Amino acid sequence: AGVGQPISSFQRGRVFQDEDTMAAALKHPEKHLGPLPRGKGSPGRMNAKGISVFYGATDDHTAIAEVRPPVGSSVVTARFDVIRPLRLLNLNDLNAMRPHRDLSYFNPVRRSLAERCAFLKALQSQLTMPVMPDSAESGYLITQAIADFLATHQGLNLDGILFPSAQVPKDASPGQNVILFHKASGVERLQDRYEAQYVSLWESDEDRWVYYPEVWEAEPKCADERSQYVPLVPPPEPSLRLARDCIVIHQIQGVRFSSEVDAVHYVPWSKDRKYQGFR
């Protein structure tokens, strides 16, 4: 991923349940729409608690589905442009791997390759398996360990992973999820001097109010070296730049579900009929 690559940007969404909080976030979107600072945040599919990473998607539809917004809420999505080359592992490619068809079934090399392909397919399934909210912390332990291994493997030198969404049916959107490991999750313009001057969500139009979100940029400020806070652990090198002119508010009016339906078979009581156990 990067400039001139097939993937040059990612979408990221955040749910808001009131306008005041949303307006405050829009005043400095890099800080409030980007990854949480190190030490904050709940555990996720591929990060332990307190580890800052970037979760995003390749389109708005997938980004909104992943944050699972309630009806009546608003989701703000923003485009984050990739500003330096990133090396990503595409899990879809793992699922498609097969031994070369020219290899004989009796060739020991084919058997070894088939075993590796089966392992990679199982790995892809494990990393994308839906996890119930009540068991999220324990259900994510395996995928967190795998992600940590991939993030720190010097030979692979990966910056992140592309993987299918568990929230969006494959036929509904071609979008994918992405995680950028902590080392590649840095966002430009996090300093306070980049905060906007004013945010308004409504505009007066004669005798009524019209929803018209606007962000007014503040006068550019120079960095004050005397007031620069130097953290104990330096932040990662910026890999992303938020496009402030590509922020969209989605007001959630309904949710659709894709499901398989199975009827429950009711067996009335009869003295001549007894339960025979599992079939």
DSSP 28: S
Q: Mean pLDDT, to the nearest integer, of 3-7?
A: 91
184, pLDDT greater than 80: yes
How far is CA 28 from each of CA 86, 134, 222, 245, 279, rounded to the nearest angstrom? 25, 33, 17, 13, 60
**pLDDT tens by residue, 51-105:** 899 999 999 999 999 999 999 999 999 999 999 999 999 988 777 777 777 777 7
In the chain, what are the domain boundaries? Answer: 9-192+233-251
**pLDDT tens by residue, 104-161:** 777 777 778 888 788 778 877 877 787 777 777 777 888 889 889 989 999 989 999 9
Q: pTM here?
A: 0.85
125-131: long-range contacts (C-beta < 8 A, 24 or more apart)? 127/45, 127/46, 127/91, 127/161, 127/163, 128/91, 128/163, 128/164, 128/166, 129/166, 130/166, 131/45, 131/166
Can you give the pLDDT at residue 12?
97
